[in-house]
């Protein structure tokens, strides 16, 4: 099959310069209305007295690993996340199937990685696999696959250059993630773009992969694409499931997607022998929601 999205492909210099300023997807873009509010209805409303991001992280400053994850997941599941994350963005994958039929699957994804706080004071928060899967499940979303991560980067309106920090034994600390969050915010501000714009390149993704079936107790991470589309991090299951560091992020994909403009269950499409090729390199997943739930139960 001839795919529109080709992970890791390089861009000519002139095309890359243009792509850094404009959305990469050049076919007729799906309407943002298809990714509107009903898809985020399961995310609780943020309470008026919810803590801003800096206060949450101040309270978690001495925590790491699963202890910090429990605090962050609690805030997120209570709705303490900035409003821009509720404004999902469409990402489309076009393909010609073996029978000659041209299809388009449109995913609805969070514009950036999960963050705690409000629009004026938020912090992007890495989490281990169990916490990430629990939040995704609680919101009625899925974690992305590697193919979805590639498509998101390919079509991002804003591509930020990866900004690795010095690898030390402090990489998992709250201080490190706060410092990296400031770096990402500075990059975004210099680009003159809103946090609500579809943004990629700033983090590695926690992803769903069948490798986790063969290696239970691990986390699968992938991405951190360079501007030329090549990811720094190939799919890896090296770390334990509770591990997260400053470079990790949790992006969510709505459980409702669109097949040629018609709403469909993303889980149903991922169990379809033909359509799954657009969505994952792992082949069909008979029960992707159950698989995701098994990662935190």
pLDDT at 101: 87
Q: State the pLDDT confidence band at 100, using cuts at 50, 70 and 90.
A: confident
Q: How far is the C-alpha of 67 from the C-alpha of 33, rounded, in Å?
A: 38
Q: How far is CA 110 from CA 5, 106, 126, in A?
A: 19, 13, 15
SS (H, E, C) the chain: CCECCCCCCCCCHHHHHHHHHCCCCCCCCCCHHHHCHHHHCCCCCCCCCCCCHHHHHHHCCCCCHHHHHHHHHHHHHCCCCCHHHHCCEEEEEEEECCCCCEEEEEEEECCCCCEEECCCCEEECCCCHHHHHHHHHHHCEECCCHHHHHHHHHHCCEECCCCCCCCCCCCCCHHHHHHHHHHHHHHHHHHCCCCCCCEECCCEEECCCCHHHHCCCECCEEEEECCCCCEEEEEECCCECCCCCCCEECCCEECEEEECCEEEEHHHHHHCCCCHHHHCCCCCCCCHHHHHHHCCC
pLDDT at 17: 35
pLDDT at 240: 98
pLDDT > 50? residue 6: no
Q: State the pLDDT confidence band at 36, using cuts at 50, 70 and 90.
A: confident
Which tokens belong to 75?
């805030």
Residue 169 lies in a domain: yes
- Tell me how crowded residue 67 is: count the other CB atoms within 10 A of its CB: 12
Give the chain's domain count: 1
As a whole number, mean pLDDT of residues 133-142 equals 98
Q: How big is the CA angle at 131 (ends 127 and 135), to the nearest 5 degrees?
A: 110
Which tokens belong to 103?
């299809």
Give the rounded percent of residues in the chain with a pLDDT score beyond 90.
85
Residue 121 lies in a domain: yes
- Domain hosting residue 263, numbered range: 13-22+30-294
pLDDT > 60? residue 287: yes
pLDDT at 208: 98
Residue 6 lies in a domain: no
pLDDT at 11: 30
Residue 153 lies in a domain: yes
pLDDT, tens digit, for every residue of 156-201?
999 999 999 999 999 999 999 999 999 999 999 999 999 999 999 9
Residue 254 lies in a domain: yes
- Tell me how crowded residue 83 is: count the other CB atoms within 10 A of its CB: 14
Q: How far is the C-alpha of 33 from the C-alpha of 102, rounded, in Å?
A: 23
pLDDT > 90? residue 20: no
As a whole number, mean pLDDT of residues 31-51 equals 89
Q: How far is the C-alpha of 240 from the C-alpha of 237, rounded, in Å?
A: 8
Residue 193 lies in a domain: yes
pLDDT > 90? residue 203: yes
Q: How far is CA 26 from the centre of its chain?
A: 22
Residue 131 lies in a domain: yes
pLDDT at 72: 98
Residue 7 lies in a domain: no
CB 210 within 8 A of CB 204: no
As a whole number, mean pLDDT of residues 229-237 equals 97
Q: State the pLDDT confidence band at 33, using cuts at 50, 70 and 90.
A: low
More confident position, 58 or 15: 58
As a whole number, mean pLDDT of residues 61-81 equals 97
Mean pLDDT of all residues belonging to the chain: 90
């Amino acid at each position: 099959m001839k795919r529109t999205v080709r992970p890791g492909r390089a861009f000519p210099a002139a095309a890359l310069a243009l792509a850094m300023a404009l959305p990469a997807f050049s076919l007729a873009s799906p309407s943002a209305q298809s990714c509107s509010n009903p898809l985020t209805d399961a995310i609780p409303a943020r309470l008026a007295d919810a803590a801003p991001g800096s206060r949450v992280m101040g309270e978690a400053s001495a925590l790491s690993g699963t202890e910090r994850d429990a605090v962050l997941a609690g805030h997120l599941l209570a709705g303490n996340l900035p409003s821009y994350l509720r404004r999902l963005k469409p990402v489309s994958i076009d393909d010609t199937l073996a029978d000659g039929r041209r299809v388009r699957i449109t995913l609805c994804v969070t514009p950036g990685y999960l963050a705690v706080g409000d629009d004026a004071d938020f912090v992007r928060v890495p989490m281990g696999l169990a916490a990430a899967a629990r939040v995704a499940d609680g919101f009625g979303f899925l974690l992305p696959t590697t193919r979805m991560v590639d498509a998101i980067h390919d079509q991002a309106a804003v591509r930020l250059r990866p900004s690795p920090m010095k690898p030390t034994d402090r990489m998992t600390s709250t201080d490190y993630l706060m410092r990296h969050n400031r770096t990402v915010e500075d990059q975004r501000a210099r680009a003159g773009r809103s946090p609500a714009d579809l943004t990629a390149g700033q983090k590695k993704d926690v992803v769903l992969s069948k490798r986790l079936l063969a290696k239970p107790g691990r986390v699968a991470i992938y991405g951190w694409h360079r501007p030329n589309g090549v990811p720094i991090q190939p799919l890896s299951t090296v770390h334990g499931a509770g591990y997260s560091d400053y470079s990790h992020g949790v992006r969510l994909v709505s459980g409702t997607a669109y097949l040629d403009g018609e709403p469909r269950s993303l889980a149903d499409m991922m169990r379809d022998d033909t359509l799954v090729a657009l969505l994952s390199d792992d082949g069909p997943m008979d029960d992707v929601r159950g698989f995701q739930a098994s990662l935190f139960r």
